[in-house]
Amino acid sequence: MSTRNASKSDAPTVAGIDPKQGRKAGIAAFVGTTIEWFDFYIYGTASALVLGKLFFPDASPAIGTLAAFATFAVGFLARPLGGIIFGHFGDKFGRKNTVITTLLLMGAATVGVGLLPTYAQIGVAAPILLILLRVIQGVAMGGEWGGAVLIATEFAPPKKKILYGAFAQQGSPVGNLLATLAFLGLTFLSNEAFNSWGWRLPFLASAVLIIIGLYIRLHITETPEMVKAVESKSQKRVPLAELMKDHWRVVLLGVGAVVAGVAITYVKTTFALSWATKDLGFGRTEFLQIITVALIAQVVIQPFGAILASKIDVKKAVLWMLLPEIVLLPLMFFMIQTGNFALAMIGMVLATAPHAMYYSALAGVLAQLFPTHIRYTGISVAYQLSTAVFAGTAPFVSQALLTSTGSIWPVVLLALGYVALSIICMSVLLRGKAWANREVDAVTG
């Protein structure tokens, strides 16, 4: 892609990359993923607080919560499909139009949930439609993440891809924070008003955010690396076929490497919110405040993971980021179980830091493991398979373990298993050929 003629005041270009376009791409990735994650996370919060009683009213409270968490998981099961579909089009035709489409699709599904009649109004059609809309959300999210990451990293200078990838990753905690604040802002409503119409407001407000996101994304250009791939005609007819033929080991290791960055979040927020408010005596407002403080801490702390991984050897950075979680996760559950507001908040904040920093660096690492012409498909399949198998099922499995054993400690062991799996898989990836032979400067070839 040819860049415009630079004036004396313009920053110098690096490897054919216009720094101004790079900054715009980073902002577009951040804003877009923030909106998409807001849409995705408000469903999780609503699942913990209200969807069970509105869409599965005949079940007991525990079973109703499990049913709501099951619809939550359905969105994750649909995400690999979205990764494959939009990864295919993103690798063949470009990143920009693909992420515009995913944003529109997510917005339509989210507003649809906000307008959906409940079981009391239309009977069994209500949970069926709820599941359908959640599937559409999942497909959109499955295509969104990979495109947003590549918009950021493919505009990055060679040695700053992990840093630029952190722009897309920052959308997750900010979107989660906005979703939590949205429901926290509704706590002044009576239970009757909240259950009747209040819970719908965050879903309907998504329409405004989608318009903002579309405006920003319509004003970015295609990435330099994708333009180069089109000019060299290196795109594959079926990117998924080459991915599974030549890169399946990297995909499987990528699935495991992603787990700690995604699954622990849903154990700490979606499941813990349900557990604390139903079993431990925390009020809805009280525990949402705890989650809010932890998310604010995550927004501040998370970028330092990408900075650390850019300054020192990535293999060492991964260990420094994840090993503390082995102590801090059990400590968090113990402190929540005390029922003390301050202790629960401290525990949540401490346990947030390690996996948040790891998540920040994750995108930039994954994006360098696959060649340009199958990169969208590669990172999407690895990431979305991990979210489907591990993250989406985390609240359901956690609740099932708690219900069947009556103890929180099997849930703690589950979360620690997520951490161990990611340490092992990421360590193997960073010692393998894909990382050693990564395209350090794909733009200049």
Q: Say what the pLDDT of residue 235 is.
A: 61
Cα gap 176→171, rounded to integer Å: 8
The DSSP symbol for 388 reads: I
Nearest to 94 by CA among 226, 235, 238, 228: 226
Q: Rg of the Cα trace of the chain? A: 21
Cα gap 430→432, rounded to integer Å: 6
Identity (one letter) of the amino acid at 21? Q
User: By CB neighbour count within 10 A (0-12 exposed, 13-18 middle, 19+ buried), where does 19 fall?
Assistant: middle
Cα gap 65→75, rounded to integer Å: 16
Per-residue pLDDT of the chain (445 residues; tens, 9 = 90+): 333 333 333 333 444 556 677 777 888 888 888 988 888 788 878 887 788 888 877 766 777 777 777 777 788 888 899 999 999 988 888 888 898 999 999 999 999 999 999 888 998 898 889 889 989 988 998 998 999 999 888 888 878 889 999 988 999 889 988 988 888 888 888 888 988 899 999 999 989 988 988 888 888 888 888 888 777 666 667 889 989 998 899 999 999 999 999 999 889 888 998 899 989 999 988 998 999 999 999 999 999 999 999 999 999 999 999 999 999 999 999 999 999 999 999 999 999 999 999 999 999 999 999 988 899 999 999 999 998 899 888 988 999 999 999 999 999 999 999 999 999 999 999 998 888 777 544 444 3
Enumerate domains of the chain plus CATH numbers.
19-436 (1.20.1250.20)
Q: pTM of the predicted model, to two decimals? A: 0.84
Cα gap 400→287, rounded to integer Å: 21
Q: Say what the pLDDT of residue 386 is.
A: 94
Q: Strand, coil or helix: what is 236?
A: coil
DSSP string for 262-323: HHHHHIIIIIHHHHHHHHS---HHHHHHHHHHHHHHHHHHTHHHHHHHHHS-HHHHHHHHHT
Q: Say what the pLDDT of residue 70 is.
A: 78
